[in-house]
């Protein structure tokens, strides 16, 4: 956001994210983005609030942040040689104006076929425990990623192209 020239403040929400493996991934991300944005908007009613949630999904199954290195290894094994979805839901709220807009951006990421040694090596390069799916495209992604179809910014954090488009449509930015 700084690179886009936006003036912003990070306010972490104090909501418990919903994790339901039976729920569709798009629904989960939308729900969590709205929970986060709503919590912050209540406390900052005169500001545009951006809440976002990203999940990695393979065959409709959400992969959150791994609990430990064994789980990170298992996630990378499940993604190796396959295409998976990175979905980010964004909820924009301006409480004082009673305005709200939501959108979902999907990107499809194809991993290279990975053996145990390649997975082990990759895990020495990054900390996978705070990353959905146990990987970070912006951190040595070339080691594991073969192809990205869709907005790359969605895979590394926030779908900036669409976010800027929506903020302009709301006259929140010039």
Q: Which residues of 49-83 are buried (b: 16+ CB within 10 A; e: fewer)?
A: bbbbbbbbbbeeebbbebeeeebbbebbebbbeee
- Check 7, 53, 70, 130 and give the catalytic one: 53
**Angle between helix 69-79 and 116-125 (nearest 10):** 120
* Strands (E) located in 36-154: 49-58, 61-63, 83-94, 99-111, 145-149
Q: Reply yes or no on whether 68 is catalytic.
A: no
Annotated catalytic sites, by residue? 53
């Amino acid at each position: 956001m700084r690179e886009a020239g936006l003036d912003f403040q990070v306010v972490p929400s104090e909501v418990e994210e919903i994790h339901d493996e039976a729920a569709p991934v798009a629904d989960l991300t939308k729900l969590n983005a709205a929970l986060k944005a709503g919590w912050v908007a209540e406390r900052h009613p005169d500001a545009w609030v951006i809440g976002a949630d990203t999940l990695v999904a393979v065959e409709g199954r959400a992969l959150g942040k791994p609990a430990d290195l064994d789980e990170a290894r298992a996630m990378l094994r499940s993604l190796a040689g396959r295409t998976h979805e990175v979905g980010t839901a964004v909820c924009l709220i301006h409480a004082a104006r009673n305005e709200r807009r939501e959108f979902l951006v999907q990107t499809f990421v194809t991993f290279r076929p990975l053996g145990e040694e390649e997975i082990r090596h990759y895990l020495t390069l990054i900390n996978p425990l705070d990353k959905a799916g146990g990987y970070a495209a912006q951190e040595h992604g070339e080691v594991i990623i073969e192809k990205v179809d869709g907005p790359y910014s969605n895979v590394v954090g926030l779908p900036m192209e669409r976010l800027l488009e929506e903020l302009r449509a709301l006259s929140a930015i010039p």
